[in-house]
Amino acid sequence: MKIAVTGATGLVGKKVMEKLDKNGFEVAALTRDRRLAVPYISTNYEVDSLREIISEADAVIHLAAVRMGEKSEYSSYQKNENLTENVLQAMAKTEKCKHIIYLSSISVYSDIHLLPWSESTIPQPESYYGLSKLVCEYLCRLYKNHGIHYTIFRCAHILGIEDKGYMLSKFMENAYRRRPLCVQGKSIAKREFIYVKDVANAIEWALNSIYAKDEIFNLGCGIGHTNYQIADIINRVFGNDGKLEYLCDQDEKISSSYMNINKIIQAGFHLEYTIEDAMLDLYGEYNEQHMKRNESHV
């Protein structure tokens, strides 16, 4: 089976590439970066370029997106909508490529009174990011009129080490270096996370399962964690016990966000990693990366 992957150099894209390559898929890895060699294929993500690349593919895993910035959220929203429609238009012009797997987000939901959110919960995004994901979902569904099947994953917050500067990456880096972790806020809100390798597992499952086509699935670990709980797990796994600062007099400025994942479990997908398992695996990656850095300086 030949698969095209947009955004192949991103956090999820890298793990999807590893997963598909390991399991014998032929992969066309799309990227804007012209400097990368095979299996990466440079594209401007315009329709003609995409059509040429994906014409022989059996499916597209659509991960490419413009990251939202505080000063350009609306512009980013437009670019993501246009990018997704370009992918779908290119697929519609092929004879073979008729299945899109789209990575949406838990951000399409917002009403905390309806927690845990299920796929039947009415989406009510409160950000341009969530709105862009929801609009792209609808585009995927509309293109069923062109014979294109879809699988949409509403993904929880993704655990990985490539995202620098965010709370989780700061926690992991500080724990690895035996520094205190600082949890700011009352730590009441519970958010749902999923390990990036389980996201890749779900995407591969969708390529092979008849139960995945023309479906929307919540994709997460099925439980919410507070920032304090996450920091505590990271410290325990990384061997940094006791080094935790808790500034509970501050507003944490986040709301709870977690989902019901029964639908995807009943369809046949099973998670490989708990949050603790994910942190242990990430600790191994940290060790490997730091060893390589040390060797390069010898």
Concatenated DSSP letters of 169-236: HHHHHHHHTT--EEEES-----EEEEEHHHHHHHHHHHHH-TTSTTEEEEES-S-EE-HHHHHHHHHH
Rounded to 5 degrees, φ, ψ at 217 are -125, 135
The pLDDT of residue 111 is above 70: yes
Nearest Cα residue to 156 out of 59, 29, 275: 275
CA distance 291 to 298: 11
Place 242 in a pLDDT band, splitting at 50, 70 and 90. confident
241 or 294, which is more confident: 241
CA dist., res. 216 & res. 228, Å (int):
31
The CA distance from 206 to 211, in Å, is 8
pLDDT recorded at residue 68 = 64
Q: What is the mean pLDDT of residues 196-212?
A: 97
3-state class of 290 per DSSP?
helix
Work out the angle between the directed axes of helices 275-296 and 167-176 (0-180°, nearest 10). 60
Q: What is the pLDDT of residue 248?
A: 82
Question: Which one is predicted more confidently, 184 or 77?
Answer: 184
Overall fold of domain 2-160+192-222+257-273:
Rossmann fold (3.40.50)
pLDDT for position 70 = 45
Looking at residue 69, what is its pLDDT? 54
State mean pLDDT over 37-49. Answer: 88
- Helices 47-54 and 73-92: crossing angle in degrees, nearest 10, is 50
Q: Which structure tokens are listed for 254?
A: 């986040």
- How confident is the model at residue 168, as a pLDDT? 87
Q: In what order do the strands lie in the sheet with 40-42?
A: 40-42, 26-31, 2-6, 59-62, 99-105, 149-155, 215-219
In this structure, of 3-7, 18-22, 171-175, 249-253, the range with the lowest mean pLDDT score is 249-253
Amino acid at 124: Q
Does the pTM surpass 0.85? The reply is yes
* Mean pLDDT within 225-230: 95
Which candidate, 114, 76, 202, 186, places its Cα nearest to that of 151? 202
Q: What is the rounded CA–CA span in Å between residue 20 and residue 29?
A: 11
Q: What's the one-letter identity of residue 168?
A: L
At 129, which helix (H) or strand (E)? Answer: helix 128-142
What is the arithmetic mean of pLDDT over 198-224?
A: 97
Work out the percent of the chain whose per-residue pLDDT is above 70.
Answer: 93
Q: Identify the top-confidence range among 120-129, 162-171, 257-266, 279-288.
A: 257-266
pLDDT, tens digit, 9 for 90 and up, residues 248-279:
888 888 899 999 999 999 999 999 999 999 99
Examine the pLDDT at 294 and tell me if it is beyond 70.
Answer: no
Judge contact between 43 and 4, C-beta under 8 A. no
Q: Which residue, among 276, 205, 194, 268, has the nearest Cα to 235 in the 3D structure?
A: 276
